[in-house]
């Protein structure tokens, strides 16, 4: 049996999209890679360890997320580092990671609809069971091309976007992922042309990154500084063409989060945590 440690808000990749440890079932099927780099799905077990730690936010040019300081991840050269070691001893700009944000036939199940809807509601100026209204990040007038995802509403100098849950369900069920991608980027794009998310909105940033990847469009994630960020910015197309995730930001978060254990029995296989290969240790 192999075991690793995650933070409660660490994201695991499944066919339903991204799920957090504390929002998952005890046993789930997640996406990972074997020692030859082949992508496959394996059943894993999750459980709370009953302890907390101050988690680490790690941001690269292709992915980002919250890790336990004890999480061990693999860089593109095959070296394994714990997040605690990266924070204390490694220059983040020197690290590169292989990143996976999307697998074929994602975003097609009911569970993913609910997850995405919940995250959009957390961004909303108004929401109920059927409707969400989000203030657009930077637009001051209704775009000429509109949106097939929902409708824009002008209120004085402010622009809002209204989305009906049934419309989102229809788009996901019909796998109209390009329409979803275009609609979300319109809503979250600021006056500088960057999609802007709060530091806690990793899910939305990673979801849009996955949609862009599926549509074969380049993107990159940008942060305030190497040692802190209050926001996550997504730029498309990317100015840098590097296919690997370049280390750009790492820092310890002040608020303690619960640590979770992930375990699996498949040999020579490792899951993806926040889009990066994480390593487990053997136990009997």
Let me know if 218 is exposed, middle or buried by CB neighbors in 10 A (0-12, 13-18, 19+). Answer: middle
Enumerate domains of the chain plus CATH numbers.
2-57+65-99+246-282 (2.170.16.10), 110-214 (no CATH)
Determine which helix (DSSP H) or strand (DSSP E) holds 198, and give its type and residue range: strand 195-198
Helix, strand, coil content of the chain in percent (nearest 5): 20, 40, 40
Question: Residues 198, 231: contact at Cβ < 8 Å?
Answer: yes
Instruction: Identify the pLDDT of residue 106.
Output: 56
CA distance 187 to 174: 21
Per-residue pLDDT in tens (0 to 9) along the chain, 284 residues: 999 999 999 999 988 788 888 877 799 999 999 988 899 999 999 999 999 999 999 999 999 999 999 999 999 999 999 999 999 999 999 999 999 998 776 555 555 678 889 889 999 999 999 999 999 988 667 776 678 788 999 888 889 999 999 998 888 888 788 888 999 999 999 999 999 998 888 999 999 999 899 899 999 999 999 988 899 999 999 988 778 999 999 999 999 999 999 999 998 999 999 999 999 998 65
CA distance 147 to 264: 43
CA distance 60 to 249: 7
Question: Residues 107, 10: contact at Cβ < 8 Å?
Answer: no
How many Å from the N-terminal Cα to the C-terminal Cα in the chain? 6
Place of tokens 């890790």: 67
Pick the closest to residue 245 from 104, 106, 100 (CA basis). 100
CA quadruple 15, 213, 274, 206: dihedral sign: negative
> What pTM, to 2 d.p., does this model score?
0.91
Taking CA atoms, 3 is separated from 20, 23, 97, 222, 271, in Å, by 17, 19, 21, 32, 11
Let me know if 62 is exposed, middle or buried by CB neighbors in 10 A (0-12, 13-18, 19+). Answer: buried
Q: What is the DSSP string of 7-26?
A: ETT-EEEETTEEEEGGGS-S
The phi and psi torsions of 225 (rounded to 5 degrees) equal -160, 180
Q: Report DSSP state, residue 215.
A: T
């Amino acid at each position: 049996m192999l075991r690793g440690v995650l933070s409660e808000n660490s994201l695991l990749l499944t066919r339903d999209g991204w799920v957090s440890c504390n929002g998952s079932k005890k046993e789930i099927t997640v996406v990972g890679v074997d020692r030859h780099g082949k992508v496959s799905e394996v059943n894993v077990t999750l459980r709370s360890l009953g302890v907390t730690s101050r988690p680490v936010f790690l941001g690269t040019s292709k992915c980002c997320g919250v890790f336990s300081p004890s999480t061990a991840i693999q860089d593109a050269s095959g070296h394994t580092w714990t997040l605690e070691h990266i924070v204390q001893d490694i220059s983040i700009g020197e690290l590169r990671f292989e990143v996976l944000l999307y697998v074929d036939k994602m975003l097609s199940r009911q569970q993913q609809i609910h997850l995405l809807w919940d995250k959009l509601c957390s961004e909303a100026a108004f929401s109920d069971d059927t409707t969400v209204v989000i203030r657009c990040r930077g637009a001051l007038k209704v775009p000429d091309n509109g949106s097939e995802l929902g409708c824009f509403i002008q209120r004085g100098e402010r622009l809002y976007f209204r989305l009906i849950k049934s419309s989102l369900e229809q788009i996901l069920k019909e796998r109209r992922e390009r329409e979803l991608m275009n609609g979300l980027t319109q809503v979250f794009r600021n006056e500088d042309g960057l999609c802007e998310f709060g530091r806690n909105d990793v899910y939305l940033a990673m979801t849009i990154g996955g949609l862009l990847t599926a549509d074969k469009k380049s993107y990159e994630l940008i942060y305030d500084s190497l040692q802190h960020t209050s926001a996550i910015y997504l730029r498309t197309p990317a100015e840098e063409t590097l296919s690997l995730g370049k280390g750009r930001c790492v820092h310890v978060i002040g608020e303690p989060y619960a640590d979770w254990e992930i375990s699996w029995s498949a040999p020579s296989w490792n899951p993806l945590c926040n889009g990066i290969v994480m390593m487990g240790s053997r136990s009997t």
